[in-house]
Amino acid sequence: MKSYFTSESVTKGHPDKVCDQISDGILDALLEQDPYSRCACETIAEPGAVHIMGEITTTADIDYIAKAREVIASIGYTKEEYGFDHNAKITCTLHKQSPDIAMGVDSSFQDASTLGAGDQGMMFGYATIEGDEYMPLALSFARKLTDSLTAARENGTLAYLRPDGKSQVTIEYEDKKAVRIDAIVLSTQHDEDISLEDLRKDIKEKVILPVLPAELIDENTKFFINPTGRFVLGGPAADTGLTGRKIIVDTYGGYAHHGGGAFSGKDATKVDRTGAYAARNIAKTIVAAGAAKEAEVQLAYAIGVAEPVSIHVDTFSTGLLAEEPLIEWIKKHFDLRPAAMIERYGLRKPGFLRAARGGHFGNPDFEWEKIDNAALEDLKAML
């Protein structure tokens, strides 16, 4: 029985990703000086302009506008001809966090028994045996393409490329097993003087084919490379960007549920971020232990309350254990109170800009991607 699934990815020059990176770049700068900074930073980018807003409480002394310019330049927007660059007009109206919101976490930040969740909400974590690092295959491939595209631009292999770009991969399944890549879509910003014919040839030969498995590409695989024919104007010069608008790209490519809150620009007292990281860590441990071929974990919180109000596990009929013993195992090995999660995953340290650029899940260097051996072995013993 055939089925198809598609996921997309975007480069760090995509307008929404530009905003994610500015917000997380500011968060990182705050954490470098004050690990207990509170941050909910939102960014909008448009042709020639950026606006930074939100709530921050910190002892750090940061030049927010200079930090934004630094991030924009690091992405590759350094030329006036792009219509958007690091010399854009930047305004900032960041202000102190609402005392009503802060009330739930101010009582004792360092005490895991009293630090409450910074907001209500539900978070999801997912893992599967399918792709690299227990990530869905379509998203894994789409990210390989955008990573390859960015590398070709930054290392000079294709010097005519500009920072904006996006990819999309459609996987064909037979009886839930990936058998081939049905379609590849890749759109990349480029200089004015490159011909469409040369660009399409270069992208296929130097960006796409080197990073995707040859055995999944056949004579019927469809390639759509810059299908509109022209992509000179890109980034915020062509399309307004906004922090948090690429949440499916940030998570699991639509293959699993995602929560209602975005990640970038939020410090770790915001369970939108911390709870999602913990849920991913739990789901990955379940799959790595062989307890299921895929697993999705949902956590839910109430503002000002430390413990989650609910835990749910779905193994999609692939699991070897029922939900109840899995939840007991979770409670035994994972302290899901905000301060405990912050400590476990090292979330008072800078490093969030990297997640905003390459995806929040699947990178083995992130603390929330590392599997605790005691939890893993205990689960294996339960099988």
Q: Give the rounded percent of residues in the chain with a pLDDT score beyond 70.
A: 95
**CA separation for the pair 144, 10 (Å, rounded):** 10
pLDDT at 97 over 80: no
Strands 222-225 vs 38-46: parallel, antiparallel or unpaired: unpaired
Same-fold call for 2-9+137-232 versus 121-130+270-382? yes
CB under 8 Å to 204, separation ≥6 — which residues?
223, 225
Mean pLDDT of the chain: 95
pLDDT at 267 over 80: yes
Closest CA to 123 of 245, 256, 25, 24: 256
Write down the pLDDT at residue 252: 97
Write down the pLDDT at residue 115: 80
C-alpha dist (Å) from residue 128 to 48, 133, 208, 285: 42, 9, 24, 10
The structural domains of the chain, with segments of one domain joined by +, span 2-9+137-232, 121-130+270-382
Write down the pLDDT at residue 40: 95
In this predicted model, what pLDDT tens digit does every residue of 153-171 receive, in sequence order? 999 999 999 999 999 999 9
What's the count of helices (H) and strands (E) in the chain, helices before strands?
A: 11, 11
Write down the pLDDT at residue 31: 98
CATH hierarchy code of domain 121-130+270-382: 3.30.300.10
Q: DSSP assignment, residue 303?
A: B
In this predicted model, what pLDDT tens digit does every residue of 281-297 receive, in sequence order? 999 999 999 999 999 99
CA angle 248, 320, 136 (to 5 degrees): 20
Write down the pLDDT at residue 98: 63
Question: Residue 117: which pLDDT band, with cuts at 50, 70 and 90?
Answer: confident
Write down the pLDDT at residue 343: 94
Q: Does domain 2-9+137-232 have CATH number 3.30.300.10?
A: yes
Edge-first strand listing for the sheet containing 121-128: 121-128, 294-301, 310-314
Write down the pLDDT at residue 110: 47
In this predicted model, what pLDDT tens digit does every residue of 323-373 receive, in sequence order? 999 999 999 999 999 999 999 999 999 999 999 998 999 999 999 999 999
Q: Is 38 helix (H, G, I), strand (E, B) or coil?
A: strand
Question: Residue 33: which pLDDT band, with cuts at 50, 70 and 90?
Answer: very high
pTM: 0.95
